């Protein structure tokens, strides 16, 4: 089963990290990448630009609107993601737990429906 692991952090705290803290985050993600590459579970992933560089488009009944900034307001914003393919929801949560730390303060684990969740069921 495929899962999307969505990582959330406070961009202000991210910008304030020391070089040592950045190196620790990088080290932890590199170790996870290595493990998941070896197991074949990592399909994709990337870090995302800061929320200030985001554009949000919304559909309204009379058309769409475009605004600067992320979809949701709040301190924690979506900062990175992985797409993994693993045997169980428990394994997906185990993987996701490895990214929680002083930097990534919340992780969302969501199953991916290959049919865009529109299979008619």
Contact call for residues 43 and 34 (beta carbons, < 8 A): no
Regions of the chain with pLDDT less than 70: 68-72, 115-121
What's the pTM value of the predicted model, to 2 decimals?
Answer: 0.84
DSSP string, 51-79: GGG-EEEEEETTEEEEEES-SS-SS-EEE
Measured between alpha carbons, how far is 29 from 116 in angstroms, rounded to an integer?
28
| Nearest alpha carbon to residue 110 among 87, 83, 78 | 83
- Name the residue ranges covered by the structural domains of the chain: 2-111
Q: Tell me, what's the pLDDT at 120? A: 47
Measured between alpha carbons, how far is 79 from 9 in angstroms, rounded to an integer?
6
CATH level 2 (architecture), domain 2-111: 2-Layer Sandwich (3.30)
H-helix or E-strand containing 42?
strand 42-47
Q: Tell me, what's the pLDDT at 121? A: 45
């Amino acid at each position: 089963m495929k899962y999307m692991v969505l990582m959330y952090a406070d961009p202000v705290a991210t910008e304030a990290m020391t070089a040592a803290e950045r190196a620790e985050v990088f080290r932890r993600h590199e170790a996870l990448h290595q493990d998941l590459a070896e197991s074949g579970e990592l399909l994709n992933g990337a870090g995302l630009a800061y929320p200030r560089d985001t554009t949000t488009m919304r559909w309204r009944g009379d058309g769409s609107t475009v605004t600067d900034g992320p979809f949701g307001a709040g301190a924690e914003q979506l900062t990175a993601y992985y797409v993994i393919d693993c045997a169980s929801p428990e394994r997906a949560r185990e993987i996701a737990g490895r990214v929680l730390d002083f930097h990534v303060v919340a992780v969302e684990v969501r199953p991916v429906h290959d049919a865009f969740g529109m299979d008619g069921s």
